[in-house]
Amino acid sequence: MNKIFIIIKREYLSRVRRRAFVVSTFLFPIFIILIITGSVFLAVKSTEKLRIAVSDEHFIHSLKSDSSSAIFEYNPDANQKNFDDKGYSAYLKLHPADFAEGVDSIVTRKSLGLETMSDIRSRIRKAYENTMLEQKGISRTTLDSVLNVISTYPNAQQQIVNNEGQVKEAHEGLAYGIGFGSGFLMYLTMFIFGAMVMRGVMEEKMNRIAEVVISSVKPFQLMMGKIIGIAAVGLTQFLMWIVLLIILFSALQLFIPADAMAHAQQNMPGSQNATIAMKIMQQKDAFMGGANWPLIISCFFFYFLGGYLFYAALFAAVGSVVNEDPQEAQSLMLPITMPIILAFVILTSTISHPNSPTAFWASMIPFTSPIVMMGRIANGVPEAVPWWQLFLSMALLILGFIFTTWLAGKIYRTGILLYGKRATWKEMIKWIRRSS
Amino acid sequence: MPILELSHLKKYFASQKAVDDISFSVDQGSIFGLLGPNGAGKTTLIRMITGIFFPDEGEITFNGRKFHPVNDVIHIGYMPEERGLYKKMKIGEQALYLAQLKGLSKKDAMEKIKEWFTRLEMQSWWNKKVEDLSKGMSQKLQFVTTVLHEPKLIILDEPFSGLDPVNSNIIKDEIYKLAQKGSTIIFSTHRMEQVEEICDHIVLISKGKKILDGSVKQVKQDFKESLYSIGFEQLPSMNGSGTPFEILGQKEQSYIVRIHQNNTPNDVLKYFLQQNAVILSFNEILPSLNEIFIKLVEGTSVSRQFLRTESVQEKSKA
């Protein structure tokens, strides 16, 4: 036991002290912050407004808006040939009465981006909408006040009732975010740290240090020492990232004016996830109370460790049979990486349908369960995942990693001492069958 | 008292009998040569002695008791033929790590490393990385890490490969010193001139079987072929038959002769004295271990076959 600890310590320290570790630990959060601040500044910068000449005076009032990225002006002298001489970036030609004359067109010299175009289009629709509302006798202000009142109403709440009549609220949006986020993190870590284990084993074999070490300790101790040491490296890096991100984010909020941030949030060309994250940020209370955080976090750690142990042992076995040629590693890794990728594919459908048969089976089988189960758990235990399913899945994962570790130990023991030729699958099966 | 006894050790792999019923014993404080051609089973045998492999059959007795790998490993120092170091680690930390894996406490390990580093003039290496060392320098470091924990049994597989003559001699002297202090050394190689120089006792294995076992002196006596070299002031002309010897060759002013079975060296001397030849020297020629090795290994038909297939493989690789 003491010897395993010495190995763990070396594996851990030698990696944590490496320049690459320090650099990636600090660069990753800075990189994320740079992307965010970058997009904030881009959004702020692009507020330089376009001046657009409009052909029809009638709509000019409705077109105007403070939040729009364009300034609309009516200029009877401007036309689609001379608009840039008059200082306009574009010329908007409207045909509100009869589209047979032609569709509305925006004439410009330089092409306008997707966002500007969609902004202009929505302004035009709004202008038509206002005109039509007025024709029907409804003023824009009346409609806005009605919409305002409605927007303060709470959304319809999903409530899950169990047999005893207890009611629980569900937050499907939040569940989606948590499920996808934790599943994706799981997917990444398996690849990153699995590959790290494999490279470590290959390095030991190629440096010819393996035989020196296993004349002092059992091969299994060396393998487990490496696997646990690297797990500790991974946890350290996660922890550092979280701490650094929190520090950097709070520092950022001090430096960026609040209105610029708010503006950026409105205009941010964000992806789906960013908007979800934004919404979550805005509804902090729902975020904190909307999920069973202690359960989710403890499940995450369980499935992270279980899944890592399950795959890391297999990666170690692959590393032990490879010789010199990194391409051998690629082809041997394939049977291990395929289930991880498959699990991620299943995860994407699991989040929307946590109770489908695919989701159920994939969350039981240890090959895919660490990733898929996280997607299901986010929807609530025991609402989406009954307790027995969770415990069965955990038990199977524990049995699974005991099995893969045992299996890998047998391959590793022989493979690490075999120089010169790559072992075939047939030989590896023989090593597994052979008793010690 | 033997420190190590192997009795009827067997280890079969799927495709070959790597070690096939080998028994021998190694006396405490001796320098023991384990010889054999490539692929003879030396490494497999050593891996069983160091507890890396378990024998399929047979027993290993270490220090008077049944060999127990986990407990006895601290008393064994093994320098494998395929040896290396962690390239990115500092020399001092590396030595410390390997010593701690053997079971030394950090404090003890530190003291011993400093002692050895001073003795072999390696003090300035502590903070260097292995990748900055020459091959010879890292060999020296490997030797130190092998013997650091003062093992009772030291197993060195080709310890001099890659060492220059100066460093070879330094290591050789340390090996003698260790043996004098009571450590037993098993020395595995196919460099016969080193064996002849260093070893007390040898075992030769080929194709998984032991084919020779004895002291270096005894083995040479057993394989001598009654060859003598006789030096003359002037080579006498040889004619006529009925001599008690046959001449195998001549070299400058001396003949190399083989004495007939029923004759003695005295008969030969008498013969030449009768011829009035002036004899300057008369020496027995003992076979070198190299000759014995080649003779024995080539003599076993299986191994000859093995060597042939080996060379075919070598060619096909090239």
Per-residue pLDDT of chain B (318 residues; tens, 9 = 90+): 788 999 999 888 767 788 888 999 999 989 999 988 888 888 889 989 988 888 888 999 998 899 988 888 889 999 988 788 888 888 999 999 999 998 889 999 999 999 999 988 888 888 888 888 888 888 889 999 999 988 999 999 988 887 888 888 888 999 999 999 989 999 998 788 888 888 889 999 888 888 888 888 888 888 888 888 888 888 887 766 778 888 888 888 888 888 888 888 888 888 888 888 888 999 888 888 888 888 888 775 443 344 444 444 444 443
Radius of gyration of chain B (CA): 24
User: Of A162-166, A237-241, A298-302, B307-311, where does the model show the most confidence?
Assistant: A298-302
A209 touches chain B (CB under 8 A): yes
pLDDT of A36 strictly over 80: no
Between the CA of residue A135 and those of A96, A127, A139, A143, A246, what are the distances in Å? 14, 13, 9, 14, 53
Residue B305 identity (one-letter amino acid): Q
**A156 vs B5: which has the higher pLDDT:** B5
Between the CA of residue B242 and those of A194, B236, B263, what are the distances in Å? 82, 16, 12
Interface A–B counts its CB contacts (< 8 A) at 63
- Phi first, then psi, for residue B239 (nearest 5°) are -145, 160
Dihedral, CA atoms, B107, B111, B117, B123, nearest 10 degrees?
80
- Rounded distance, CA B185 to CA B164, Å? 21
- Look at residue A55 and give its three-state secondary structure: coil
pLDDT of A282 strictly over 70: no
Model-level ipTM above the cut of 0.90? no
Nearest to B80 among A212, A427, A436 (CB): A212
A311, A401 in Cβ contact below 8 A? no
pLDDT band at A62 (very low <50, low <70, confident <90, very high): confident
Tokens of B251: 């070299």
Tokens of B300: 């076993």
Q: What is the bridge-based pairing of β-strands B201-206 and B31-35?
A: parallel
Contact list in B for residue A212 (CB cut-off 8 A) is 78-80, 83-85, 98, 142, 145
Residue A381 DSSP one-character state = T
B75: nearest Cα among B22, B10, B9, B28 = B28
Contact list in A for residue B98 (CB cut-off 8 A) is 212-213, 216
A103, A83 in Cβ contact below 8 A? no
A435 touches chain B (CB under 8 A): no
Nearest to B82 among A6, A208, A436 (CB): A208
Q: Verify whether the Cβ–Cβ distance A217 to B76 is below 8 Å.
A: no
